[in-house]
Structure 1
Amino acid sequence: MFRILVIIISFVMPFLLVQRKVEAQLQDVPVIHAYSIVEGEEDRLFFPSFVWVDPISSEVYVIDGKSRIIIYTSDFFPLFTLDKRDGIESPQGLTLDAEGNLYVVQSATKDNPRHRISVFNACLKWVRDIYLKGFEGSGSFKPYRLAMDKAGNIYVAGSYFPGVLVLNNQGRLLEIISPEEEGRKVELNDVTLDKAGRIYLVSAEMGHIYVYDKNRKFLFKFGRKGGSTGKLSRPMAVGVDNRNGTIYVVDYMRHTVSVYDKAGNYLFEFGGLGLSAGWFQYPRDISVDPKGRILIADTFNNRVEVYQPKE
């Protein structure tokens, strides 16, 4: 019994000390924890890995570990769920076009062994699938995230491929955006567009975010690889506050969100490893709503955390 108690204390105490240390460091940051989304339409969230806010309606879309899409109202009331009964088998990311059609990246399954983008109409009925083909490396490319510009072009990031695909809304390949570091193309795991059409590409491998203009011309990169304050260990996703251009980067391994100005200059970070509200365990995604509220998919805590800037 004594040995078990010692083991438990040895495991828990470092965890609590880290949380208290981070709490002391972050108590003056200019954001505050506002809300935790833990319930789905039918039951509790289970390892949510994706969160996205519709910039028009402010509805919130969450993908969780039960291979379902849960849609919430702007005040976080669960509204509707899409799952296998609706053609959702293995969702990874999603976006909406100007007509309200839903585009969902789905990875291969036993029943459908091809990666694809599934398109649903505004009534959430399946319309068609777009298969990713016709480019070198398409056989190993596993799509993970997508975004859409004002012209309806689709941007797809994924694994085992050095670049982001640019497709028209029918799935025809237009271009591949491929940042380079030290003479080689880097793998990218996320793509986000802001209201002005700027394109943000995230590389967890390099700890960098690459920024392009609306014409897909490179502007700058930011972020420093590392495991300490002000650095990015494994950045997973970017959210942009369209009111002022503030950039939020969620870091899976440091359990934090790093904040930058619109030019990529580091400002501060918030979060930290913990179980209680306001802390994170391996967060995977981030989105910012039109009010500036920051939503984080806090994956291993089975919730979506909501922060808001201090007035």
Structure 2
Amino acid sequence: MKSWGEWEISFLPNVTGDHRLEVKVNSQQVRLSPFEVDVKGNPVLTIGQEGSGVGELDGPLGVAVDKDGNIAVVERGNKRVQIFDKDTGQPLRSFPVEGQNPFGIDVDSNGRYLVTSWGENFGIRRYSKEGELLNTLNTDCFQPPHGLAVLQDGRMVVADPNKESCLLLQPDGSLIREIGKGQLQLPVFVSVDESRDVMFVTDGSAHKVFAFDLGGNFKFDFGKQGDNDGEFEGPEGVTVDPAGNIIVGNAGDGRVQVFGSNGRFLRKLGTVRGGYAGGLAVTPDGYVAVACWNGHCIELYRYM
């Protein structure tokens, strides 16, 4: 039998999961080709390590993408927001935030940062692009705000675990309507797809993701507790991509999964360092940034 020696090939898939790989030499299939390849998700970039210095992180939870496409992270331990370059992961700037337990973050259409905190001095705080505190929203309509999403017109949707609902608020913090009362148990993070008039909220107790329209009408839910594909262990971070797909991170086991706009499981992106996936955000160039609470870092996964 003729020996063809050893060959080395490289294969860089865009998504995780099962792949079928054909290998040919001079138009001839090599022995055993096609190959079945199970691709595990690995981050293409890891930002930060535990600490309080520049570029270090302590308990990152909320994450958002600013108007320049860079990554803004809320750190509970260091009580600050740090902004990192989307391409290199290098720290660009930071600013301190108020409140006992800073949690969620989003960026409005003017590029200002809105940060939630719970516990003592809870509220929603609006900061300028430079990190100057502009105002604090602290009204009787919400109690311990957690995740939030800012709409293009400045309205906000905030997850309120104590009220077991989400709140649609005016830009000044006044209540428009309560959403999900009687259905949600422990809402944590929220994401809004304005083009489709639908919002998604993770429920850490029900181990589900719920979908409502902004009028407060229930649309559908998906998921159940478990460690199989499409199941959740304490879902937290949630975001929506331009195609309407829903990306969800688990606090319980760190898995990050992608679902279609109807909640059908599509694929698993990976499992984050430390096994606790917090806030999520999709970058303009097609990566998912995940806050790794226990890993004290941000991981970027190839996505689109």
Shorter-chain TM-score: which interval? 0.7 to 0.9
Query: Match for residue 119 of structure 1?
Result: 126
Higher gyration radius (CA):
2
Partner of 2:102: 91
Tell whether the 8 Å contact from 1:29 to 1:270 is kept in structure 2 after alignment. no
Change (3 A) 1:292 1:280: farther
* CA deviations over 1:239-290 (Å, ceiling 9, x no partner): 2221x22211101112211221111101222434xxxxx6442222221112
In the other structure, the counterpart of 2:26 is: none
Asked if 2 retains the 8 angstrom alpha-carbon contact of 1:179 and 1:210, the reply is no
Q: How far apart are the structure 2 equivalents of 1:257 and 1:99? A: 30
CA contact (8 A) 1:271 1:279 kept: no
Q: What is the alpha-carbon distance in structure 2 between the residues aligned to residue 265 and residue 24 of structure 1?
A: 16
Q: 2:278: which partner in 1? A: 284
Paired residue type of 2:118 = S
Distance 1:29-1:158 versus aligned 2 partners, 3 A rule: farther
Question: Which residue of 60, 66, 69 maps to 2:71?
Answer: 60
User: Do structure 1's residue 294 and structure 2's residue 288 form an aligned pair?
Assistant: yes
Give every structure 1 segment of 4 or more consecutive aligned residues whose post-TM-superposition deviation is greater than 6 Å: 23-27
Cα separation, partners in 2 of 1:308 and 1:120, compared to 1, 3 Å: same
Looking at structure 2, the residues matched to 186 and 258 of structure 1 have their Cα atoms a distance apart, in angstroms, of: 22
Distance in 2 (alpha carbons) for counterparts of 1:88 and 1:71: 19
Deviation at 1:195, TM superposition (A): 5.1
Counterpart position of 1:34? 44
TM-score by length of structure 1 reads 0.77
Q: 2:85 aligns with which of 63, 67, 73?
A: 73
Deviation of 1:214 after TM superposition, in Å, equals 4.6
CA distance in 1, matches of 2:296, 2:155: 33
Distance (Å, rounded) in 2 between the aligned partners of 1:165 and 1:98: 20
The 3 A distance-change label for structure 1 pair 264 and 294 is: same
**How many correspondences in the alignment?**
267
Preserved contact between residue 63 and residue 71 of structure 2 (Cα < 8 Å): yes
- Bigger strand fraction: 2
Is this contact kept in 2: 1:115–1:132, CA < 8 A? no
The one-letter amino acid of 1:114's match is N
Structure 1 position 207, deviation (Å) = 1.3
Write the distance in 2 (CA, Å) between the matches of 1:234 and 1:103: 25
CA 1:172/1:228 → structure 2, altered by over 3 Å: closer, same or farther?
same
| Residue 103 (structure 1) aligned with residue 114 (structure 2) | yes
Corresponding residue for residue 6 of structure 2: none
Q: Where do 1:133-282 residues align within 5 Å?
A: 133=140, 135=141, 138=142, 141-178=143-180, 180-181=182-183, 185-194=184-193, 196=195, 197-242=197-242, 244-272=243-271, 279-282=273-276
Distance 1:194-1:31 versus aligned 2 partners, 3 A rule: farther
TM-score when scaled to structure 2? 0.78
Gaps of 5+ in 2: 1-15, 20-36
Q: Identity over aligned residues, as a percent?
A: 22
Instruction: State how far apart, in whole Å, the 2-side matches of 1:79 and 1:89 are.
Output: 25
CA contact (8 A) 1:29 1:268 kept: no
Aligned in 2, Cα 1:31/1:240: closer, same or farther, shift over 3 Å?
A: farther
